[in-house]
Structure 1
Amino acid sequence: MNKLALIIILIFSIQCKSQSNIIDSKDRCNHAPINRNNGNLYTKDISNIYAPFIGVWKWTSGNREMVLTLIKQTKYHLISGNFNYYEDRLVGYYVYKENGVTIIDTSGDDLSEGYGLKVNFDISCSGRVSTASFKDVKKEKYFIVGLEKLSPTQMKFTGKVGEGTYLIGRTPTTVYLGSTFPLEMVFTKQ
């Protein structure tokens, strides 16, 4: 009987040891250092910060229009380079038109990619939704974008040209000035 109890305790101990460490995405900056390479970490959107941003959003101004679609991926397994962990993330795609003509359409992107996504948002250390990446395909450059919920049906999109090393491994490929689309927009939920 003692052997059976010992075996049960041993199996239970091994199972408990192999479970993931779950950290609320908004609190990940308070847990330093975070081991992101052993597959046992899960940065989860426990506080549901992404929830108000999920859906299809539309901005129009005169003859210009942008439709932004945002999707929450739950427990996405990121394996790349030194990284091996799970995370909740907000990804998506956009279609930008002028005079009814499509200028940029990223809707064919593979949203299961770990890196190289054109639309990918994180929860910053301040608890705000901001970019991991947002690419202007036509200008071949990435922008830093923040999203701010204005009401249940509106959100503000504020972008600026990325500087420094926030996009590790991505170097500027062109010298195109400006952006294809405005970097200040108010989107309405569709």
Structure 2
Amino acid sequence: MKNIFLLSIILLSISCKAQQIYPLNTSFSDIQNHTYLKDTNNELLPFIGTWKATFDNKEIMIKVDKINQHLVESGRKIFYQDVLFIRYSIKNSQGTVIKSTMNLPIAQSGIKSIGTFPNQNLVSFVYQGGDCRYGWGDVDLQLVDSTHLKWNYQPEGVILTNINCPNGADTTIYLPKTSDLVFTKQ
């Protein structure tokens, strides 16, 4: 009987240490490891879907997907967060796909949300870049209305050498390098 009582106390104390849930925009400095930053206000929901635009005679299609409780390791912090990922397909004027990440698993798309700005209807992303991280930078999506959003991509400078990027690597930036490109929801 004493063992059953002791086991009950242990199980009760373990269950009381449930994962802490905070709103999505909680500062990382305010959270403990294994915390969950949840999209409690549905800030990410309007961005989810397939969107299309035309830029420089190319058709750009992006697919925005959400993963709940995505594991994030940032410095010394390990936590879970609701995250958006962008996959894309770019076709030339003849309709030939010149670059696509649509077949990649969602979390391997290379473009992941890092924060929201609800007062501006904006989600900020980081793009890991293509080969040799070429073209890495920031992408912002700003909701104009329920069927339109603005795209802003600003690549960072990268110095390529034969040491950090082998010959034959694709150093083309396929994403539209522009501000205020309007996408329409499909």
TM-score by length of 2: 0.74
Number of the residue aligned with 2:176: 181
Question: Is the CA contact 1:78–1:85 (under 8 Å) kept in the aligned structure 2?
Answer: yes
Number of the residue aligned with 1:73: 67
Question: Is the CA contact 1:136–1:143 (under 8 Å) kept in the aligned structure 2?
Answer: no
Number of the residue aligned with 2:85: 91
- Larger displacement relative to structure 2 (82-91 or 133-142): 133-142
Number of the residue aligned with 2:152: 158
* One-letter amino acid of the counterpart of residue 118, structure 1: G
Match status 1:22 vs 2:9: no
Equivalent of residue 111 in structure 2, options 107, 115, 119: 119
Number of the residue aligned with 1:107: 102
Unaligned runs of 5+ in 2: 159-163
Kindly report which structure 2 residues correspond to 1:56-71, keeping only aligned pairs within 5 A, or say none.
Answer: 56-61=50-55, 63-71=57-65
Note the C-alpha offset of 1:63: 2.8
- Larger displacement relative to structure 2 (101-110 or 150-159): 101-110
For residues 100 and 58 of structure 2, what CA distance do their matches in structure 1 show? 14
Number of the residue aligned with 1:42: 36
* One-letter amino acid of the counterpart of residue 40, structure 2: I
* Structure-2 change in CA distance of 1:147 and 1:112 (3 Å): closer
> Deviation per CA, 1:65-116, whole angstroms, max 9, x where unpaired?
1000011101123468855321111013100111122221111223245xxx
Matched residue SS, 2:14: helix
Number of the residue aligned with 1:168: none
Question: Is the CA contact 2:65–2:106 (under 8 Å) kept in the aligned structure 1?
Answer: no
Unaligned runs of 5+ in 1: 165-171
Question: Is the CA contact 1:104–1:138 (under 8 Å) kept in the aligned structure 2?
Answer: no
* Structure-2 change in CA distance of 1:132 and 1:16 (3 Å): farther
* One-letter amino acid of the counterpart of residue 35, structure 1: Q
Match status 1:133 vs 2:127: yes
For residues 142 and 15 of structure 1, what CA distance do their matches in structure 2 show? 42
For residues 186 and 145 of structure 1, what CA distance do their matches in structure 2 show? 13
* Identity fraction in percent: 26
Matched residue SS, 1:14: helix
Matched residue SS, 1:12: helix
Number of residues of Structure 1 aligned to a counterpart in Structure 2: 173
Matched residue SS, 2:37: strand
* One-letter amino acid of the counterpart of residue 123, structure 1: G
TM-score by length of 1: 0.73
